[in-house]
C-alpha cells in the first residue's frame, strides 16, 4: 500500500540527485575529499517518524515498523528507519534500529526460514527515495535485522550481531563502496516510485526468493534475490500492466499476484513463469538459477463496476488495499473515488483457475485505506482504517453492515494483526505512534484502543 508522499517530493528527490552529481564532480576536480555527498541529519533511532508499514514476526514477539521521513526533514539516503518493537514489553529497541532510504513501505517476509515457517530468514520492502527495494536478514529469534554483510550472522545457529546503518557516511560501513555509497541490502533505480511489493511462494528446490515490486509509474517487476543479494544486471525491465500500481497481494491458492492501481477500477491477476516450471525458460534448470523468474503475464482479474460521477463518466476506483480471505475464496478491495469496499469471488473453478467475479460493493466514506480480515465462527469482519475520520470501521463482509467504530484519535494508515494475541496494530501516521486495538470477542475492552507505542 502506498505511503502518502508529500507533493513535490519526487521532483525534490530528482533535483537532489542532480545536486549530488554536481558535488561529486566538484570533489573530483578540486580533490578536496571533504565534500559530503550525503549531508543532512539522521533520523531519530529511538522514536517513530510517520510510520507507513507494519509487520509482526510469525511467533508474535516482535513488531517491525517502517518510518517514512514524510516531511523530508532528514537526509534522503538514510532518512527512513526500520524499528523493532518488543511486543511483550511494547518497547522500541532503539539500539537495533536500521536507517534506510526515505519513504519506505510494504514490508513482507520472504519464504525462506530457519527450518520452521514461524522463523523467517529475511524481510523485504521498498523505498521511494531511491526508487528501490531492500532485503534484510533476521536473526533466528527475529530480535535483530542485518543489512547485507554489515554485522555477523551464524546461519547454522541463527546467532546474530547486527550493526547500525545510522552513520554519517555509509562508505564507513564494512563492504560499502566509496564510489557507490549504497547500502549492501538495497538495490536502487528500479522503476518510478515503488509503492508496494509481494512475495511469490517458493518451491522446495528454489534458490531464489522472488519479491515482486510495483510502482506508481505503472510498472511491476520481479526481483530474484539469492541469499539476500541481487546484482544490478539481473534486474529485468518492468512490465506496465496496471496504471499507477499501488497495492499487491498473493492469492493463497494459485500463487498469482493481484495488482491494484491508483488510476483504474481493474484488479489485474499476474502469473510468473519460473525456471524449473513447466513452460519456463528451461524446466530442467536447477542450482543457483532454480526458481528465478524471467517472465510475468496477465491471467485476467476483477473489474469493479462503478457509478458515473455525472461529470466525466464512469469513476476510477483509486484502489488502496487488497486482502484475501484465509481460504482464498474472497478478495476484499478498498478504494477511494468513490470511497468503498468491494468483494470478489476468487475461488477456484474446475480447471483450478480463480473465478475473478465481482460480487458487491459497499460505501465506506472517509478515505478507507488499509484493512484486516478477521474470520471467526464462519463470519468475516473487515477492519478498515478510515484516514480522514481517525477511526477503524468494523464491517460485516457479507452485508456491509457497520458492526462497530473504533476511535484511534489520529490518522490511521497501515494495519497488521498479531498472530498470537487477539490484537491489531495500527500506524497512527500523524502522531508518530502505533495504536494497539483489542479484538478479543470475550474481552470487556473489545474494539477499543488499549495501548499506544511511541
| 21-32 average pLDDT score | 36
Look at residues 347, 271, 333, 346 and name the one whose alpha carbon lies nearest to residue 305.
333
Indicate the average pLDDT of the chain: 83
Domain chopping of the chain, boundaries? 1-189, 190-363
Is residue 283 scored above 90 in pLDDT?
no
450 neighbors 443 (Cβ within 8 angstroms) = no
Band of residue 401 on the pLDDT scale cut at 50, 70, 90:
very high
Any idea which of 348-357, 372-381, 423-432 has the lowest mean pLDDT?
A: 372-381
Query: Has residue 400 got a pLDDT over 60?
Result: yes
Q: Distance (Å, rounded) from C-alpha 122 to C-alpha 104?
A: 16
pLDDT confidence of residue 162: 66
Higher pLDDT pick, 234 / 84: 84
Burial class of 120 by CB neighbour count within 10 A (0 to 12, 13 to 18, 19+): buried
- CATH number (2.60.40.10, 2.130.10.10, 3.40.50.1370, 3.40.50.300) of 190-363 reads 2.130.10.10
C-alpha span between 275 and 110 (Å, rounded): 18
Is the pLDDT assigned to residue 8 strictly greater than 80? no
Residue labelled with grid coordinates 489520529: 410
Percentages (nearest 5) of helix, strand, coil residues in the chain: 10, 45, 50
pLDDT at 372 over 80: yes
Which run of H or E residues covers position 50?
none
Q: What are phi and psi of 71, to 5 degrees?
A: -80, -5
pLDDT at 364: 93
Averaged pLDDT for residues 127-140: 92
Handedness of CA 140, 142, 143, 147 (dihedral sign): positive
Higher pLDDT, 332 or 183: 332
Q: Which has the higher per-residue pLDDT, 307 or 84?
A: 84
**For 326-357, how does the pLDDT look when each residue is reduced to its tens digit (9 = 90+)?**
999 999 999 988 899 999 999 999 999 999 99
At 71, list the grid cell: 516531511
Nine-digit cell string for 104: 519506505
What does the pLDDT average to over 28-47? 61
The average pLDDT across 402-422 equals: 95
Cis bond upstream, residue 331 (ω within 30): no
Among the listed ranges 158-167, 324-333, 395-404, which one has the minimum average pLDDT value? 158-167
Banded pLDDT at 150 (limits 50, 70, 90): low
Mean pLDDT of 239-251: 87
- Comparing 247 with 204, the larger pLDDT belongs to 247
d(CA 95, CA 161): 11
Predicted pLDDT at 393: 97
Q: What angle do CA 116, 122, 125 make, to 5 degrees?
A: 140
Residue 10 has pLDDT above 50, yes or no: no
pLDDT band at 1 (very low <50, low <70, confident <90, very high): low
pLDDT tens digits, residue range 308-323? 665 555 567 789 999 9
Q: Within 209-252, where are the H helices?
A: none
238 vs 7, residue with greater confidence = 238
pLDDT (tens digit, 9 = 90+) per residue, 188-215?
A: 999 889 999 999 887 655 567 889 999 9
C-alpha cell recorded at residue 438: 483489542
b/e burial code for range 157-182 (CB count within 10 A of at least 16 → b): ebebebebbbbeebeebeebeeeebb
Name the burial class of residue 427, with classes exposed (0-12), middle (13-18) and buried (19+) by CB atoms within 10 angstroms of its CB. buried
Residue 53 pLDDT > 90:
yes
109-113, 196-200, 303-307, 429-433: lowest mean pLDDT where? 303-307
Please tell me the predicted confidence (pLDDT) of residue 114.
Answer: 86
Q: How many residues does the chain have?
A: 454
Amino acid at each position: 500500500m502506498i505511503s502518502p508522499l508529500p507533493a513535490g517530493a519526487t521532483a525534490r528527490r530528482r533535483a537532489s540527485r542532480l545536486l549530488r552529481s554536481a558535488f561529486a564532480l566538484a570533489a573530483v576536480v578540486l580533490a578536496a575529499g571533504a565534500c559530503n555527498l550525503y549531508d543532512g541529519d539522521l533520523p531519530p533511532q529511538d522514536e517513530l517518524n510517520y510510520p507507513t508499514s507494519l509487520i509482526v514476526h510469525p511467533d508474535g514477539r516482535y513488531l517491525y515498523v517502517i518510518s517514512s521521513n514524510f516531511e523530508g526533514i532528514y537526509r534522503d539516503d538514510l532518512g527512513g528507519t526500520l524499528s523493532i518493537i518488543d511486543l511483550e514489553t511494547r518497547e522500541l529497541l532503539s539500539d537495533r534500529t536500521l536507517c534506510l532510504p526515505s519513504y519506505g513501505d510494504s514490508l513482507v517476509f520472504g519464504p525462506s526460514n530457519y527450518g520452521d515457517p514461524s522463523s523467517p530468514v529475511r524481510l523485504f520492502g521498498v523505498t521511494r527515495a531511491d526508487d528501490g527495494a531492500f532485503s534484510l536478514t533476521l536473526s533466528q529469534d527475529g530480535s535483530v535485522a542485518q543489512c547485507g554483510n554489515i554485522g555477523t550472522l551464524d546461519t547454522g545457529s541463527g546467532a546474530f550481531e547486527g550493526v547500525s546503518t545510522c552513520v554519517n557516511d555509509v562508505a564507513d560501513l564494512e563492504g560499502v563502496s566509496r564510489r557507490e555509497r549504497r547500502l549492501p541490502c538495497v538495490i536502487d533505480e528500479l522503476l518510478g516510485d515503488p509503492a508496494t511489493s509481494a512475495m511469490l511462494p517458493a518451491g522446495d528446490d528454489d534458490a531464489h526468493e522472488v519479491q515482486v515490486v510495483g510502482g506508481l509509474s505503472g510498472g511491476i517487476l520481479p526481483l530474484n534475490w539469492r541469499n539476500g543479494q541481487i546484482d544490478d544486471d539481473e534486474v529485468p525491465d518492468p512490465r506496465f500492466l496496471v496504471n499507477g500500481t499501488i497495492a499487491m497481494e498473493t492469492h493463497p491458492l494459485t500463487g498469482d499476484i493481484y495488482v491494484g492501481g491508483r488510476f483504474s477500477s481493474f484488479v489485474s491477476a499476474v502469473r510468473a513463469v519460473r525456471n524449473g516450471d513447466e513452460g519456463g525458460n528451461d524446466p530442467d534448470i536447477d542450482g543457483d538459477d532454480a526458481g528465478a523468474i524471467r517472465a510475468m503475464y496477465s491471467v485476467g482479474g476483477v473489474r469493479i463496476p462503478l457509478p458515473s460521477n455525472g461529470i466525466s463518466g464512469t469513476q476510477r476506483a483509486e484502489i488502496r488495499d487488497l486482502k484475501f480471505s484465509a481460504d482464498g475464496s474472497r478478495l476484499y478491495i478498498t478504494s477511494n473515488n468513490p470511497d468503498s469496499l468491494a468483494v470478489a469471488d476468487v475461488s477456484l473453478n474446475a480447471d483450478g483457475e480463480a473465478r475473478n467475479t465481482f460480487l458487491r460493493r459497499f460505501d465506506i466514506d472517509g478515505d478507507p485505506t488499509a484493512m484486516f480480515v478477521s474470520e471467526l465462527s464462519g463470519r468475516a469482519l473487515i477492519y478498515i482504517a478510515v484516514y480522514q475520520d481517525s477511526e477503524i470501521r468494523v464491517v460485516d463482509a457479507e452485508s456491509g453492515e457497520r458492526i462497530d467504530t473504533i476511535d484511534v484519535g489520529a490518522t490511521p494508515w497501515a494495519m497488521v494483526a498479531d498472530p498470537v494475541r487477539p490484537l491489531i496494530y495500527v500506524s497512527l501516521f500523524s502522531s508518530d505512534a502505533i495504536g494497539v486495538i483489542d479484538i478479543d470477542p470475550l474481552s470487556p475492552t473489545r474494539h477499543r484502543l488499549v495501548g499506544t507505542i511511541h
